[in-house]
Amino acid sequence: MSETQPDVTVIIGAYEAMPYLVDCLASVEAQTIGPERVEVIAVDDGSTDGTGECLEEFAARAAMPVKVIRQENSGGPSGPRNIGLGMATGRYVFFLDADDRLGAEALERLVAMADEAGTDVVLGRVEGVNRNAPKSMWRRTVKRADVFSSNIKFTLSAQKLFRRSLLERHGIRFDESLYTGEDALFTMEAYLRADGVSVVADYTCYYLVGRTDGKHVTQGGDYTHRFDSARALMRLIAGLVPEGEKREKLMVRPFRVTLLPQFGPRYLEDGEEVRRHKLELAGPLMDAYWTEGLARRLKVHERLRLHLVAARRPDLLLDVVEFVAAEKEPPVRLEKGGTRVYFAYPHFRKRRARVPDAVYLAEPPEARGVPGYREGSGEADAKAKAAPAAAAKPSVKPSAKRKPSLLRRAVRKARKWGRSRRPQTVGGRSS
């Protein structure tokens, strides 16, 4: 490693970023890490509002080396970020959006954590300014976080510190074919290929600024782009993580964050053709990745909606979406001595609906809020009591297959029902 190699390259992709860019660049100048340890690569992506000129003025006065590239508009953030990454020389890279800003000690703290822990990715606490920011992953600073059991999978934005050698070794780049969700794909791959991920939670490293001019890219776009994003992320996860519990833990993210909102309140505003098309786009994803283990990790209303999507049941789905959008509370049924809690959303135990009870069964994290709920499965108690008697019965075959769980049968039934109903529900087009 050369003695003159910077510790971190800050990559700024900028498009029509004024006046937010002024504060962004000021936050880079204010970094406590020292200008000799930083380089900046800024790409003006065809701006017409003075963004390019502002960047060039910054390059002329800044104490750290700054490279400014001005180009025709590429249509999204991926191209500028990839250009910056290709030119970076730092041990680490940090992607800074031109309308956001850094905490003064951000780079110093992030680099120190990566060096101390030997990790390849470091997340710094994010705070929203006039917009929401992720919160659940900032409870404590962690030198080595587990990607599968922690909530870091719910923050897949690119504004993190990445070891550049990791990105180069695996050829990790932003997918320029995606209109939205390109950062989720990039970050998830880095998480999965990294030798450790750290979390800096005791200092606000990044301020996520809400623009008032509506120019955030992710605020626009056709719904089909969301399905493109979900499909790409699901394929990435499936390609890097074998089937089983670990894959299901990660799959919660694209199902809950990207796919499920397409069958939320906005679904009520969609026309009939758009609703059919959404089911058509979701169908192959449900067939490929919807499992019992994944379903159990969702809340009842989330699981119910996706179950009906998997079963291609728009006739039932609309009622459920209306109920959820109205923020109504479903009737609660306690059964089996309080060890089972059912949330009776629409179509619960309706014979013609044929939705299995297991879809409405609350798992312990959700059930604990219900008065009278007794944690500890009644079924498990019954099995424990029955074990001695079962051992005394030679007629019971040890090799006999266990019956599938209620939820597994529900998932299988949804898939079977969907396949049988598909021609009628997608207008005769292949899904």
- Among all residues, which ones are annotated catalytic? 183
Q: Which two tokens stand for residue 302?
A: 């989330």
Q: Which two tokens stand for residue 393?
A: 């019965």
* Nearest Cα residue to 145 out of 77, 106, 213, 200: 200
Distance separating alpha carbons of residues 206 and 83, to the nearest angstrom: 22
Distance separating alpha carbons of residues 427 and 382, to the nearest angstrom: 48
End-to-end CA distance of the chain: 52
Distance separating alpha carbons of residues 420 and 77, to the nearest angstrom: 42
DSSP assignment of 18-52:
TTHHHHHHHHHHT-TT-GGGEEEEEEEES-SSSHH
Q: How far is CA 249 from CA 230, 243, 278, 362, 412, in A?
A: 15, 11, 24, 18, 20
* Nearest Cα residue to 186 out of 314, 11, 50, 14: 11
Q: How far is CA 389 from CA 376, 379, 395, 397, in A?
A: 22, 16, 12, 14
> H-helix or E-strand containing 408?
helix 406-425
* Nearest Cα residue to 296 out of 367, 359, 347, 380: 359
> H-helix or E-strand containing 80?
helix 78-87
